[in-house]
Amino acid sequence: MPAIQFDPAFTGFAERARASFLAQPTMQVLGVSLDRVEPGEVELSMPFSPTLTQQHGFLHGGITASVLDTACGIATLTLMPEDAGILTIEFKVNLLAPGTGSRFRFVGRVRKPGRTVWLAEGDAYSVDENGRERLMATMTATEMTVTGRGDVKG
């Protein structure tokens, strides 16, 4: 996948992205931070927490999916028009390595912009105490532009 340069449709794209992230209580509950916002690409991270694991002590795959979903959604939102809201239609996650390590890094990016329907992709990495990264999971997500619906803004 070659890196693509995108032009945001809205000059306030970064502020809107940060506002959308902060408006998601789930991200606070999971301890996620939004570390980087660029047109069409964002980066998030979270520390390992034993409270967010499954029965083997690995980060729960659904928690990985939650952060990747937000990463894909916010990456897409950076390119949407000012009056648009965003909804996720579907996503698929491939879980590639156990959710171990001291922290996790998540990258979301737009793969194909659209008027109504967008494709975003996300990668999740586990990071050990020495900073070594390992690809842990990937997501493909279909995002939808929503306008004129009072309950879907941002």
Half-sphere exposure of 37 (CA within 13 A, CB side): 21
Q: How far is the CB of 129 from a copy of itself (least distance, A)?
A: 18
Q: How far is the CB of 27 from a copy of itself (least distance, A)?
A: 8
In which element (H, E) is residue 67 found?
A: helix 61-77
- What 8-state DSSP symbol labels residue 75? H
Give residues in contact with a copy of itself (CB under 8 A).
1, 20-21, 23-26, 28-29, 50-57, 60-63, 65-70, 73, 85, 87-98, 111-112, 114, 116-117, 119, 121, 123, 135, 138, 140, 142, 144, 151-154
Q: How far is the CB of 130 from a copy of itself (least distance, A)?
A: 20
Angstrom distance (rounded) from CA 89 to CA 146: 11
Closer CB to a copy of itself, 42 or 63, in the complex: 63
The angle formed by the CA atoms of residues 107, 69 and 34, to the nearest 5 degrees, is 50
